Structure 1
């Protein structure tokens, strides 16, 4: 008995090929495309493991040679930190770098160097300890992208191009600060001082670049939470009302009939993103405490130096440039971190607000909304620095409020020191 096989027509073959093409994932995931330079820098400096890109939606663990390389790099940079710490506590090793006119200024600079070493060492140690968790975070983000692509045939955008600009800016600032520091010293610097300045710049750069990477991860989460909220907005009463009023509108695009199935997918996706959000917070919270403490003290001492320059007759254009560069770099990075933390948190917690406006005409729809809302109320999230304080859009304002308070204390110490010097001169 002959089989009744019918050969597809050219038009059918074209449509079949088109459908098969649409099912293909993109050749390069947008995360790797937008953050390739940032990831390469962090992997080269040992802050991230040198993972293997298995596919567009999966990364694998590093090979043994790459694991050994990461251990070696982390050991080298920690050795440099010990070298700088030894020079800092040894009298005369880096005395040329402490050229200020008062003891208060020199003590502030010494504490600033120490906090920089602490921030850098904490970043290296915690990144090495959480290397597997970072790979897990990347894989979970990629899995979310794969689920969204399979469901909506859409590749999510990241808008993380700012990370490369910040890295270039940080490197330029560090080299410029080294040049300014060398020019500020009247005598010829010894070898230890040159090495100290170079290592100090590397420590600053590595710690700051990792904060930019954290902000980029939060921007990625923000875009995915925003995609969920945008999808849910299509089921709100206002959007459904607009669809009914538009004549000839294709009602199959989005209707309440698809809400039960769509809401289940969104609920699972939202839980995955919340889990990633908490994992990033767990990985970076201690690093954020160390860096923000260092940045806070640097901004305070830099502002204090500006005040001294403005209120005294010893005005130095070199010192003014140094102060403005430090303030610009740390303020921009802290503003970036605060902004992305606040946006990601707002989008994560805003899902319940969008869901509350969903048009639940039937009892089944309303039950789905009620269950989702009940769960969302219990899952309200906050990005914190190891629980000490919340990082959001108001963080930068709080930091500068604290800077103002501490600045007053430093000015009082400066006035006491000046009055003591005047008394000593009067006795002579």
Structure 2
């Protein structure tokens, strides 16, 4: 071959048959440059895409995050780049500290006011059982919100770390597969408006039910009581949204991995030519499996981090919701079985409370159940991967051996797991406790009747 001979080597890399197609960047340089051997002037490169600082995953829940920032339950972080957030500035940190201080001061004031005679016009009933239920429910509400504020202040750095890990993981997915993992979280805004509407309606009903002139202290009690319930419920919606974000990413890697399963391989091959086509379809499995395992481990760490930040709040909130649902079911029973006139005000009050708490429990149970199921499904999908080569089988065996030792559960401080069955368990406990309350009511009614009969005889 003469030294002046041109040697052109064609690319020998096979076209990639990937279960999740990668997006080709419009700014990629073409493989054949037609301007290399001509006198034409190449056009200028297109301008780079605009840089966006706010990631879509947090754009979708911006409204609910703004409420939590304003109330001091979430740090007012600084957006450093599209995949990193920074700690709050000194001014924002002082604002959050000031709001939390006001909250604790109002909590102490409300607890003191509850034990003064001025609270009698708001929390008064004709039965001793009803009085006990109201006081327990009020104290659980105060405890839940106080604990929420305390835990959120303690976990400021952990929340920022979780957000950074989500953003960095999404950045890796965009660079590796060209996919933007985002979803419309409109349910969070709907729940936020629903919570505000329920709390406003409950306060209006309470004001109309009070006889006489309401004192300023009673107005403060009512207003802060509504704020406590509303912000605690808002934080539960925020935790559910975080779990839904993690669920979407688990679902993405499971779909990616599902493309290598035996059933998908058979569909792509049309059921024939198993040997030749199988090697072509599986040639990218080592590279993708490494990314999938790394992404799965990061998601498990995020999943555990969310659980650690919310477990104390969840224990208190579930106890408070359980007691609220029980007392309102009891009040409905009392109104329905009463011999006198049924109070429409109490019926509307009970239905508003039940609507809000049952919907929050359903949202939390569903979000935890979906995320837990998707996290545990990865090893099950991997076990169905078509791996004829021993090299691929060794990769699968290593991950399955590690997955057997990992028990993925979202728990309420380790007391019990929260999943789709939690709502059924809560209502089973509500039914049991409701029967006990009804028995106490019947016992009180029998004592009242005996006293009336004794007075008539004397």
TM-score interval for Structure 1 and Structure 2 normalised by the shorter chain: over 0.9
Determine the structure 2 residue equivalent to 1:226.
251
8 Å contact kept, 1:159–1:219: no
**TM-score between both structures, scaled by the size of structure 1:** 0.93
8 Å contact kept, 1:160–1:220: no
Distance in 2 separating the partners of 1:361 and 1:12: 48
**How far apart are residue 196 of structure 1 and its match?**
0.4
Structure 2 alignment gaps of length 5 or more: 1-34
Larger radius of gyration: 2
Distance in 2 separating the partners of 1:345 and 1:209: 22
Distance in 2 separating the partners of 1:133 and 1:11: 54
Determine the structure 2 residue equivalent to 1:87.
113
Distance in 2 separating the partners of 1:305 and 1:377: 48
8 Å contact kept, 2:53–2:80: no
Structure 1 alignment gaps of length 5 or more: none
User: Where do residues 10-409 of structure 1 align in structure 2 (5 Å cutoff)?
Assistant: 17=46, 28-90=54-116, 92-245=117-270, 255-312=281-338, 313-409=340-436
8 Å contact kept, 2:54–2:79: no
- Structure 1 residues 425 and 343 mapped into 2: Cα distance closer, same or farther (>3 Å)? same
- Structure 1 residues 9 and 274 mapped into 2: Cα distance closer, same or farther (>3 Å)? farther
8 Å contact kept, 1:99–1:185: no
- Structure 1 residues 274 and 194 mapped into 2: Cα distance closer, same or farther (>3 Å)? same
Distance in 1 separating the partners of 2:438 and 2:122: 22
8 Å contact kept, 1:57–1:146: yes
**How far apart are residue 66 of structure 1 and its match?**
0.7
**How far apart are residue 99 of structure 1 and its match?**
3.4
Q: How many residues align?
A: 415
- Structure 1 residues 399 and 10 mapped into 2: Cα distance closer, same or farther (>3 Å)? farther
Distance in 1 separating the partners of 2:327 and 2:38: 76
2:80 partner SS: strand
Deviates more, 1:151-160 or 1:289-298: 151-160
For the pair 1:427 / 2:454, whether they are aligned, the reply is yes
- Structure 1 residues 7 and 200 mapped into 2: Cα distance closer, same or farther (>3 Å)? farther
Aligned alpha-carbon RMSD (Å)? 2.1
- Structure 1 residues 72 and 376 mapped into 2: Cα distance closer, same or farther (>3 Å)? same
8 Å contact kept, 1:116–1:294: yes
Cα-to-partner distance string for 1:394-427 (whole Å, 9 max, x where unaligned): 0000000000000011011111111111122222
1:94 partner SS: helix
- Structure 1 residues 323 and 65 mapped into 2: Cα distance closer, same or farther (>3 Å)? same
Cα-to-partner distance string for 1:290-334 (whole Å, 9 max, x where unaligned): 111000000000000000000002410010000000000000000
Structure 1 runs of 4+ aligned residues shifted over 2 Å read 5-14, 24-28, 98-101
**How far apart are residue 101 of structure 1 and its match?**
2.3
